Amino acid sequence: MKRFLSILFPLLLCCSIPFTDVDAQETLGEYAPTAIITGPDEIVVGRTLVLDASSSRGLGENTKYRWYVEGIPQPISRTVEVVYTPERIDTLAIRVVINTTINGEEFETEAEKIIVVYARKIVLVADSTVPREKLELHQATAQAQGVYLRIMQPAEPTLPVNTEEVLSKLLSEQRSVIPGAEAVVLWTDGITGLQSLLRATDKDDLLKQHIEGQTLMLITDRSLKTLARTVRGPFSVLNPARILITRKEAINPLIAAENLSDFLQEIEQRDIDFIAMDESSLVIRPWNLLASLVNYMLTHGVSSQVIVLLLTLPIIAMLLAFFKQIIGITTFGLYTPSVIALSFLALGWQIGMAFLLFILITGYLTRAVLKRWRLLYIPKVAIILTVVSITLLLLLGLAAAFSITFNQDTIFVLLIMSTLAESFLTAKTEEGLISATIGIGETIGAAWLCFFIVSWPALKSFLLAYPEIILLTIFVDIALGRWTGLRVVEYFRFREVFSHLQEE
Percent of the chain at pLDDT exceeding 90: 23
- Asked, for residue 319, whether it belongs to a domain, the answer is yes
pLDDT tier, 410 (very low <50, low <70, confident <90, very high otherwise): low
Q: Outline where 131-218 has alpha helix (H).
A: 132-144, 163-173, 192-203, 205-211
**14 in a structural domain:** no
Domain span at 220:
120-288
Whether residue 454 sits in one domain with residue 349: yes
Q: pLDDT-based confidence at 307, cuts 50/70/90?
A: confident
Same domain, 173 and 56: no
**Looking at the structure, do residues 81 and 126 belong to the same domain, yes or no?**
no
Q: Tell me: pLDDT of 83 over 50.
A: yes
What's the angle, vertex CA 376, arms to CA 370 and CA 378, rounded to 5? 95
CATH number for the domain spanning 34: value is 2.60.40.10
Residue 216, pLDDT score: 92
Question: Within a domain: residue 323?
Answer: yes
What confidence score (pLDDT) does residue 464 get? 76
Q: Are 98 and 64 in contact (CB under 8 A)?
A: yes
Asked, for residue 106, whether it belongs to a domain, the answer is yes
Q: Which among 87, 4, 3 is positioned nearest to 49, based on CA atoms?
A: 87
Q: Tell me whether residue 15 is in a domain.
A: no
| Confidence label for 287 from pLDDT (cuts 50, 70 and 90) | low
Instruction: Using the 3D structure, point to which of 117, 149, 177 is the last residue of a domain.
Output: 117
Domain count, the chain: 3
Between strands 42-44 and 105-118, the pairing is parallel
Q: What is the pLDDT of residues 8-35, one digit of tens each?
A: 334 333 443 343 444 444 444 456 889 9
Q: Are residues 229 and 92 in the same domain?
A: no
Q: Do residues 263 and 344 share a domain?
A: no
Alpha helices in 270-405 (DSSP H): 289-298, 304-322, 335-347, 349-370, 377-401
Residues 138 and 91 in one domain: no
Could you tell me the CATH number of the domain that includes residue 211? 3.40.50.10740
Tell me 34's DSSP state. B
Query: For 153-180, what is the mean pLDDT?
Result: 81
Average pLDDT over residues 406-424: 69
Q: Are residues 37 and 156 in the same domain?
A: no
228 shares a domain with 111: no
CA atoms within 13 A on the CB side of 246: 25
With respect to residue 130, please indicate whether it lies within any of the assigned structural domains. yes
Q: Average the pLDDT over each of 16-25, 153-162, 494-503 and give the range with the smallest value.
A: 16-25
Asked if the structure places residue 16 within a domain, the reply is: no
Residue 10 lies in a domain: no
Q: Which of 10-19, 274-283, 375-384 has the lowest mean pLDDT?
A: 10-19
State the chain's mean pLDDT as an integer.
Answer: 81
pTM: 0.66
**403-432: average pLDDT:** 69
The residue from 65, 93, 117 where one domain ends is 117
pLDDT, position 492: 77
Query: Are residues 231 and 317 part of one domain?
Result: no
Residues 107 and 127 in one domain: no
